[in-house]
């Protein structure tokens, strides 16, 4: 079985929602759409208060290089443009839309027919991806069209589709594979054409045998697309680890996957690209998982961007009594939700309900020097050293110890018997190093 070489751990899988079909979540009364839902420069707002919009209409336009378009997920009237709270409790500019009916722009194909024939060429596809505001649905929300503009002198050899879903609890990619199989494959064909590559790999962890079986069957119909079963080990789905597991190539420190001729995309992104190119549909909804140990409604939902999280929770009967913490994303890398009124974004992949017992962090004791964090780090770093440097605010030293190579997978924190806040501190170091680098670039 293929896997990455160093480090890694195996948290409890807890994929409770894996058997529930994707349901379409009803429209909320008011949608709150953040203007900037992508990584990079802010996009320019095109609409104003009181304006009527239809589903699919452009709300904000990308003007910078690393930037993404934003389309209206709702039809209705814009009641205000104001600041709304995001999941971490900070305020960001958002468009509030009072939902009236569900009227789509006419050029969007809403039928379920699968269009297999690809009419566009590489440039047109990338243009389409840009126009429809597709961002990487793996979590980072990096604008996909930017990834597809291969820098001069480099050549993409392989397209790698990340369907690993190594995070415990999450099942949205798994359900998408089972229910939107053909769309995903057509999407991959489109991506291959856009990138001008011959070969595509789909990496799936071996704890999803049904998905591997179904995808392998389909892959026979599509030439040069291969399903690669991978060992169930966290973080198998991290970009650099996945590239190594499949191609045995190592991405150099501080470099992008294109350095070794690979482009990695999430499975959800391939479906979004299919919908954008073949159906003309912008990125206005995504599949997310509502799950947790004591949650009655284990759901996979197709939710429009900008649906308030509490409306989803209330719709399925509220939270269980012993709820200790809510997380958006997986338990390893996700972010704790500090305000339940926050709306979903393009990359919200789950609402994870953690009970009181598990929500408590371990008591912090002294480092035992056991070296477990070093053993599990998939990037081969020394988390305890980085954490100590960060605690002493020695950002430059942390940079020399390759803190920026940390992928924030959380293995070190998960495994530490002393409950040291390793990842917390490394994250702070990374953000400060980023600031230092920006200052240096200014000079």
β 52-53/262-266 pair status: unpaired
Q: How far is the CB of 334 from other proteins (least distance, A)?
A: 13
Are 121 and 378 spatial neighbours (Cβ–Cβ below 8 Å)? Answer: no
Q: How far is the CB of 320 from other proteins (least distance, A)?
A: 17
Q: In what order do the strands lie in the sheet with 323-328?
A: 22-24, 299-304, 285-292, 350-355, 323-328, 335-336
- Nearer to other proteins by Cβ, of 186 and 353: the residue is 353
Q: Is 265 in the site for other proteins (CB under 8 A)?
A: no
Pick between residue 98 and residue 435 the one whose CB is nearest to other proteins.
Answer: 435
Q: Is 49 in the site for other proteins (CB under 8 A)?
A: no
Chain-centroid distance, C-alpha 23? 20
As a whole number of angstroms, the distance between CA 442 and CA 411 comes to: 35
356 near other proteins (CB under 8 A)? no
Residue 155 touching other proteins (CB under 8 A): no
Assess 437 for contact with other proteins (CB under 8 A).
no
- 424: contact with other proteins by CB under 8 A: yes
Among residues 52, 248, 296, 360, the one that binds other proteins under rule CB under 8 A: 360
* Residues of this chain, 57-116, that bind other proteins according to CB under 8 A: 83, 85, 88-91
Q: Answer yes or no whether residue 182 interacts with other proteins by CB under 8 A.
A: no
Number of Cβ within 10 Å of residue 254's Cβ equals: 9
Position 421 contacts other proteins (CB under 8 A) = yes
Select the residue interacting with other proteins from 46, 392, 431, 434 (CB under 8 A): 431
Could you tell me if 283 and 133 are in contact, meaning their C-beta atoms sit under 8 angstroms apart? yes
> Which one of 3, 14, 232, 338 is in contact with other proteins (CB under 8 A)?
338
DSSP H or E stretch at residue 230: strand 225-230
323 forms part of the interface with other proteins (CB under 8 A): no
Considering beta carbons, is residue 115 or 359 the nearer one to other proteins? 359
The β-bridge relationship of strands 262-266 and 158-162 is parallel
Shortest separation between residue 374's beta carbon and other proteins, angstroms = 20
Residue 26 near other proteins by CB under 8 A: no
User: Would you count residue 9 as binding other proteins (CB under 8 A)?
Assistant: no
* Residue 51 in contact with other proteins, rule: CB under 8 A: no
Nearer of residues 22 and 423 to other proteins, judged by Cβ:
423
**Residue 32 main-chain phi, psi, to 5 deg:** -120, 105
Q: Which residues pair with 287 in a beta bridge?
A: 302
For 157, the enclosing helix (H) or strand (E) is none
Q: Does 355 bind other proteins (CB under 8 A)?
A: no
CA distance 431 to 39: 15
Is there binding between residue 436 and other proteins (CB under 8 A)? no
**Furthest-apart CA atoms within the chain: distance in Å:** 63
Contact indicator for 206, 231 with CB cutoff of 8 Å: yes
Beta carbons within 8 Å of 83's beta carbon, 6+ residues apart: 91, 92, 93, 94
Total residues contacting other proteins by CB under 8 A comes to: 18
Interface contacts to other proteins, rule CB under 8 A:
83, 85, 88-91, 336, 338-339, 359-361, 421, 424-425, 427-428, 431
């Amino acid at each position: 079985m293929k896997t990455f070489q160093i480090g890694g751990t195996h948290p409890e899988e807890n994929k409770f929602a894996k058997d529930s079909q994707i349901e379409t979540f009803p429209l909320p009364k008011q949608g709150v759409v953040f203007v900037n839902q992508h990584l990079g420069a802010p996009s320019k707002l095109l609409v104003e208060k009181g304006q009527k919009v239809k589903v699919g209409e452009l709300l904000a336009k990308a003007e910078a290089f690393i930037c993404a378009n934003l389309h209206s997920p709702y039809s209705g009237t814009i009641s205000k443009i104001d600041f709304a709270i995001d999941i971490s409790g900070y305020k960001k500019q958002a468009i509030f839309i009072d939902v009236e009916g569900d009227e789509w722009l006419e050029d969007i194909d809403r039928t379920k027919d699968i269009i297999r024939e690809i009419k566009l060429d590489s440039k047109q596809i990338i243009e389409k991806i840009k126009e429809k505001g597709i961002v990487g649905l793996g979590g980072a929300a990096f604008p996909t069209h930017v990834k597809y503009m291969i820098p001069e002198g480099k050549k993409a050899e392989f397209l790698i589709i990340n369907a690993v879903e190594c995070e415990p609890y999450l099942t949205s990619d798994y359900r998408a594979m089972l229910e939107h199989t053909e769309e995903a494959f057509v999407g991959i064909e489109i991506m291959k054409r856009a990138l001008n590559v011959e070969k595509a790999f789909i990496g799936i962890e071996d704890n999803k045998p049904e998905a591997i079986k179904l995808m392998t069957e389909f892959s026979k119909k599509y030439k040069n697309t291969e399903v690669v079963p991978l060992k169930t080990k966290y973080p198998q789905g991290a970009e650099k680890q996945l590239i190594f597991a499949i191609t045995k190539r190592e991405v150099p420190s501080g470099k992008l996957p294109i350095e070794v001729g690979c482009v990695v995309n999430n499975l959800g992104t391939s479906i979004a690209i299919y919908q954008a190119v073949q159906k003309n549909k912008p990125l206005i909804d995504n599949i997310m998982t509502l799950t947790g140990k004591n949650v009655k409604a284990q759901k996979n939902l197709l939710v429009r961007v900008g649906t308030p999280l509490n409306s989803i929770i209330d719709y399925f009967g509220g939270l269980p009594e012993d709820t200790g913490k809510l997380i958006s994303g997986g338990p390893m890398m996700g972010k704790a939700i500090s305000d339940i009124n926050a709306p979903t974004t393009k990359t919200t992949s789950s609402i994870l309900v953690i009970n009181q017992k598990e929500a408590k962090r371990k008591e912090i004791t002294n480092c035992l020097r056991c070296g477990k964090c070093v053993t599990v780090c998939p990037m081969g770093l020394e988390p305890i050293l980085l954490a100590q440097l960060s605690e002493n605010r020695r950002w430059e030293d942390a940079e020399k110890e390759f803190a920026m190579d940390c992928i924030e997978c959380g293995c070190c924190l998960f495994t530490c018997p002393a409950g040291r806040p390793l990842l917390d501190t490394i994250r702070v170091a990374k953000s400060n190093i980023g600031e230092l680098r920006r200052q240096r670039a200014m000079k």
